[in-house]
Amino acid sequence: MQKDGTYRVVYGTDLDKITGSVKLSVVGYGRKTQEGGDTLGQKCTELSANITKLNQALTDDATIRHISLVGCNLDNPTDNSTSTYAAQTLQNLKEIGVTSTSARSDYVAIGPDGRKLTSSTGTDAWKHKDSKAKTHYSFNELTGEVESRVYNSEGTLVRYNGKHLGDNNSQYQTNIVLQLSDNETVKNATNALTKKHPDNSYIAKIDDNGKLTVYDLNGNEVNLNVNANTVSM
């Protein structure tokens, strides 16, 4: 596809024959803009318009759901919490059904087998599936706003909207697990969930009279003020 939106299919099925959910990989150089940001050689509005044009060539039975932006050091909040390129691309394409995008913060190369490789230098130490070099964007189910996530190699969330999550690895200030039974299986499951984020997790129980009681992980009863993010013993 050219910058003006003209395109041709050089391999594979004709666009009007594709059905179902579609993942679109956009491949280009991470060129510098005059403002200093890295893009795929197009402004965000230009890229969004061209993807919309490509989408119009698909049938009503096909929907682009995910877009992978494949380019070196693409503008994303892995190291810059104020960047907006990939987030704005997703926002621009919400109306055509796109629900998520992804971008990488390191140098990117594509191996002969099609695998994406990343490197912090661009010359050596190429890695496959280096999770920390990839940022995932999606819409918040409650607010509808675009949010970003970065995971480590173990699948644990380590950045949320460009901010380090620290040792808790949780995007929330407080985690409350509501335990509905004293059954041993339920208790074990509750304890396992709270141990994921021990520094800001609490267990809530409701007795037969409807009284709510909240405990810390040491079994001490606490009064939890979530809005003010304070806990009183």
Look up the CATH number of the domain holding residue 157: 3.40.50.11050
pLDDT value at residue 229: 46
Instruction: Indicate whether 35 and 142 sit together in one domain.
Output: yes
Evaluate whether residue 4 is within a structural domain: no
What is the pLDDT, as a whole number, of residue 25?
93
Decide the pairing of beta strands 134-139 and 100-104.
Answer: antiparallel
131/147 same-domain check: yes
| Residue 232: predicted pLDDT | 40
Give pLDDT tens digits for 193-218. 888 778 788 999 999 899 999 999 98
CA–CA distance, 200 with 217 (Å, rounded to integer): 9
Is 179 a member of any domain? Answer: yes
Q: Are residues 132 and 46 in the same domain?
A: yes
| Cβ-based burial of 35 (10 A; exposed 0-12, middle 13-18, buried ≥19) | exposed
Q: Write down which residue in 149, 168, 187 finishes a domain.
A: 168
Residue 98 lies in a domain: yes
pLDDT < 50 regions, the chain? 77, 228-233
**Domain co-membership, 164 together with 216:** no
| Residue 6 domain-assigned (yes or no) | no
Task: Provide the pLDDT for residue 160.
Answer: 85
Tell me the C-alpha distance between 215 and 197, whole Å.
Answer: 15
User: pTM here?
Assistant: 0.68
- Please check whether residues 163 and 182 belong to one and the same domain: no
Answer yes or no: is 73 within a domain: yes
Provide the total of helices (H) and of strands (E) in the chain, helices listed first.
Answer: 3, 17
Is 19 found in the same domain as 126?
yes
Residue 137 within any structural domain of the chain: yes
- List the one residue out of 103, 90, 95, 100 whose CA is nearest residue 37: 103
* Same-domain status, 101 and 199: no
Minimal CA–CA distance to 91: which of 122, 130, 53, 48?
48
Q: Which residues constitute the domain of residue 87?
A: 15-168
Which of 121, 152, 168 corresponds to the end of one domain? 168
